[in-house]
Each structure stands twice: as C-alpha cells, then as structure tokens.
Amino acid sequence: MKKNIKLYETVAALLEPGKGILAADESDNTAGKRLSMVHLPNEPEHRRDFRELLFTAPDIEKYISGVIMYDSSIRNETRDGIPFVDVLTAKGIVPGIKVDLGTKDLEGFKGEVITQGLDNLEARFAEYYDMGARFAKWRAVITIDEDETPTDAALKMNAIMLARYAQIAQAANIVPIVEPEVIHEGDHSLERAEMVTTRTLQVLFQTLIEYKVDLSGLILKTSMVLAGSTYPEQTTPEEVANATLRTFHMSVPHTCAGIVFLSGGQAPERSTENLNAIAKLGEQPWPITFSFSRAIEEPMLKAWQGKPENEEAAKEALRATCEKNSLASLGKS
C-alpha cells in the first residue's frame, strides 16, 4: 500500500495529547434543535451566530485540535466577514467536514438504516480540500433492538459504505473519521451493548482491511459502551470504561491511528466522567480522546440563551467544558 505522508501529518495534529475534536457538524435542521433550546428560530443568521460563538471562543485551541463542520458552515463567515475556516486555521485548529448525507431505511430490514452520500464524493472532497478541510466524517447508525437487530447484513453493508468513503477520502489527502454509532437509546444491557459494539467494529475493520484502507491514516469515532438509556440498572464509569476497552481490544487493530468518542446523548458531566475513567485505565495501543457535539455544546447554549449580552459568558462556558474534557482525556479530571 502506498503511504501518504500528508494523512499522517493531519492525524498527528488531530491526536495531539490532551486535545479532542469538536463535532460542530450538525445539519441546518439539527442546528435548529440547538437553537430551539435557547428559544431562537432556525434562521440563517441565528445558525451563523451559534457557529460563530463555537469557533471564535478564546483559548479553545488549547483543548481542541480539530472542528468538524457542515457544508453550510464551511462556506459561511463571521458577522465581520471572516470565513469560519480562516478563523479556525488561524488558531491552529484543523478544519474538517461531515460528508455523509444522512440515513435512509434499508429495505427489507425493519428498523435498520444505511447512510447516503457516495455519489460525487471525489468532486466534493476536491472542493472541500480547496476550502481547507483536511479530515472528514461519515456516520453509520446501528440500533440495538430485539435479538436479531442489528443484522450482520446491515453491519456489512454499512461497513462497505464506510470503507468506500475512506478510500475516496485518503485518495483526496483527507483523513477519514469512520463513525459507526451504536445508538444509546433503548433498554439493552451493558453486556448487549458490548456484544453489538464488538461485532460492529470487527465487521468494520475486516472490511476496511479487505478494501486496503490505510488504518494508520484513519480515525475511528465510536460510542462508549453503555447500557441503553432506559435500562433500569445504572452502570458506573468504571464498568463503562472496562467494557469499552475490552471491546476495542477485541476489534480495533493496533495500526488504527486513534479512537475518538461521540457523547451519544449522555449528560455532559457523565460523558466527561466516563472519558476520565477510560483514560485512568492507562496507556492503550491507540490515542483515545473525545469528539463530542452535544456534551460540549449544551453548557455553552445554557450560558448563551440566545442573548447578545451573554455571548462572552457562553464562550467562557465552552472553553471551560473543553478544558474539562481535555483533562478527562488524560485521566486527570
């Protein structure tokens, strides 16, 4: 396999110890859900203000190595006319881009979905690269339900799409983040989540290897292994940490460049505590850090409330949340 040094440079920048990746890649629709938390309508100028707060907050670059953007935000700029990409690059933060186009039902497989977005991906990557993007994200969605869900067939098809996306990204000098999100909602036990996540990651990495994706130029984004959101027994951070690391050791090749976590709808404090417990288990074959969206944005939104007079407080809340997660990624929270 031909080695691509550019990919490794990006990977090294993204996985700098003590830093994580901010997932600010919500679609315009999902950005609307964030805005509704602060009682603002989903209008372009409010989405711009929301994203401007996230990207311009002072000192986040001490804790954040990369930001995943959405198509409309990578093309957008601050109120003063500075492109968001330039704002991030000036801080030494690597701009990234979500390239999947969401999910659709997988015909014949009740409750299972497949991710869209491979059409024209080469051309889209070329344009995003010119705009400054150096890494990308593609999210597959895996739901745990009755005994037979997820099916191996759905896992395999999603893995093939992730592998094809990763091939196209690497050929465009863009580091792929592959994200098979095992959904937290549900009444499944921790053991079931561990079994499903292990199988999901095994199928994914077998497929990535089969299609000759360079694992040293690729980052895995995954869920922590958690009991379902409505499972009656609560689990401790130590139980989550042990189950999560057992899963990785059963399924993630040591050549994979690194692993980052989504927060999956856990409360921000819980996400940070679990990350800290994972880091406390000591050095692993891969760098491991955070790539949260909701768990980073929620405290900032609470402080903002959509009011101009709260903007500085909101930026400080964001900085403080990033710092907490930075410490947790080092097991020092």
User: Could you tell me which stretch among 82-90, 115-123, 201-209, 257-265 binds ligand 13P (CB under 6 A)?
Assistant: 257-265
Residue closer to ligand 13P (CB basis): 295 or 317: 295
Contacts of 192 (CB under 8 A, 6+ apart): 144, 228
Distance, CA of 297 to CA of 272 (rounded, Å): 13
Nearer to ligand 13P by Cβ, of 209 and 267: the residue is 267
- Residues with a catalytic annotation lie at 179, 221
Report d(CA 76, CA 87) in Å as an integer.
11
Considering only residues 10, 197, 207, 263, which one is a binding residue for ligand 13P as defined by CB under 6 A?
263
For the bound state, the minimum distance from the C-beta of residue 273 to ligand 13P, rounded and expressed in Å, comes to: 15
- Mark the segment that binds ligand 13P (CB under 6 A) among 83-91, 158-166, 241-249, 286-294: 286-294
The C-alpha atoms of residue 63 and residue 59 are separated, in whole angstroms, by 8
Distance between CA atoms of 229 and 232, rounded to whole angstroms?
A: 9
122 within 8 A of 82, measured Cβ to Cβ: no
For residue 322, give both structure tokens: 């990033």
324 lines the binding site for ligand 13P (CB under 6 A): no
Min. distance of Cβ 231 from ligand 13P in angstroms?
18
Helical segments of the chain, H only: 5-14, 28-37, 44-56, 71-74, 84-90, 121-131, 152-171, 190-210, 237-251, 268-280, 294-304, 311-329
DSSP secondary structure letter of residue 89: H
Residue 219: CB minimum distance to ligand 13P, A: 12
Is residue 182 involved in binding ligand 13P (CB under 6 A)?
Answer: no
The position carrying tokens 């629709």 is: 29
Are 24 and 68 spatial neighbours (Cβ–Cβ below 8 Å)? yes
Interface stretch with ligand 13P, choices 84-92, 157-165, 277-285, 293-301 (CB under 6 A)? 293-301
Among 65, 292, 300, 326, binds ligand 13P (CB under 6 A): 292
As measured in angstroms, the least distance from the Cβ of 331 to ligand 13P is 20
Cβ–Cβ < 8 Å for 318, 5: no
For ligand 13P, which residue of 262, 275, 278, 279 counts as binding (CB under 6 A)? 262
Q: Should residue 23 be labelled a site residue for ligand 13P when binding is judged by CB under 6 A?
A: yes
Stretch that binds ligand 13P, among 69-77, 84-92, 155-163, 292-300 (CB under 6 A): 292-300
Q: List the one residue from 47, 48, 124, 294 that touches ligand 13P (CB under 6 A).
A: 294
271-291: buried (b, 16+ CB within 10 Å) or exposed (e) per residue?
Answer: bbbbbbbbbeeeebebbbbbb
Residue 158 or 263 with smaller CB distance to ligand 13P:
263
Q: Does 293 bind ligand 13P (CB under 6 A)?
A: yes
CB 97, min distance to ligand 13P, A: 12
Q: Which residues, in sequence order, are bridge partners of residue 178?
A: 138, 220
CB 262 → ligand 13P: shortest distance, Å? 4
Tell me, by CB under 6 A, how many residues bind ligand 13P: 11
Least Å distance between CB 185 and ligand 13P? 11
Alpha-helix residue ranges (DSSP H) falling in 217-267:
237-251
264 touches ligand 13P (CB under 6 A): yes
Question: Contact, 95 vs 61, CB < 8 A?
Answer: no
Q: Which of residues 128-167 bind ligand 13P (CB under 6 A)?
A: 139
Per CB under 6 A, residues contacting ligand 13P are 23, 139, 179, 181, 262-264, 292-295
